[in-house]
Amino acid sequence: MREPGGRQHVVKCPNAANRCDRRVARLIEREWEFLQAGASPGVVEAQAFERSERGALLVTEYLPNGDLVVLAGSHPRHWVAAMRSVAGTLARLHERGIVHRDVKPRNVLFDANERATLVDFASAARCGERPPAGGTTTAYRAPGSVRGAVAAPVEDEVAYAAVLYELLAGEPPFAPRRSTAIAPAYAPLCDERLVFGEESGICDLVGLVNAALEEGAKEPRPSLAVFQRALTRISPGLALSLQDVGRRDAE
């Protein structure tokens, strides 16, 4: 949606078939509530909410520079700052008792200044609360790692490590094979799976990702703060233009 003055917004509303579905309207209203409760730098700005006999409508800011998916498989210097920011955003949400529950590259968008912003709180829940149906995407959830009927920060922590895996290896760690619905066993990250040269800071990060995602991973898994410190040891390069990502590793 574009205002007369040129400012753009994103509008989330039920489709025609679900317009009168109270459950769908409540999910949109929940998202509005969680966006307000979690409002901070790094969280998409919720601008308006309306509920009527025609259903619910949520308006958020427009983020024009794409998502994190386009950086998968690129050198960490291109996304290290973004992932440090996402870790900080998730930590602030957890401090407020909020679990996002669907952390994945497609839910990290970049604003006009190319700052990483977390979106899509439709599956969010309070810590200890029974969450709505659905939520964490299978490709970013370690099989057997997140059990229980209530929301917990570990869901976001495991998904965050899975996003790092995809950024490093170019593919998500638990995506089902095309020929079957069964998710493959975890294949640990190693030098052969990386598309860039070996660097000490990157090797440390790879070790943390494996520690978080391998089957039977010891508790507690590496925390968001531990990942932030590891990312700090990797120096970002020159700012990457997301408009020209196709040339990101041409050198």
My answer on whether omega of the bond before 220 falls inside 30° of 0, hence cis, is yes
Angle at 178 between CA 172 and CA 188, to 5 degrees: 35
125, 153, 151: which is closest to 33 by C-alpha? 125
Pairing between strand 125-126 and 98-99?
Answer: antiparallel
Measured CA to CA, the distance from residue 188 to residue 32 in angstroms comes to 38
| Cβ atoms of 188 and 210 closer than 8 Å | yes
Contact residues for 43 (Cβ-Cβ < 8 A; gap 6+): 35, 89, 93, 117, 118
**Catalytic residue flag (residue 102):** yes
HSE at residue 233, side-chain half, CA atoms within 13 A, is 13
Q: What single-letter amino acid sits at 80?
A: V
DSSP assignment letter at 158: H
Residue found by looking up tokens 């929940």 in the block? 30
Give the active site residue among 21, 67, 102, 244.
Answer: 102
Q: Any idea which residues carry the catalytic annotation?
A: 102
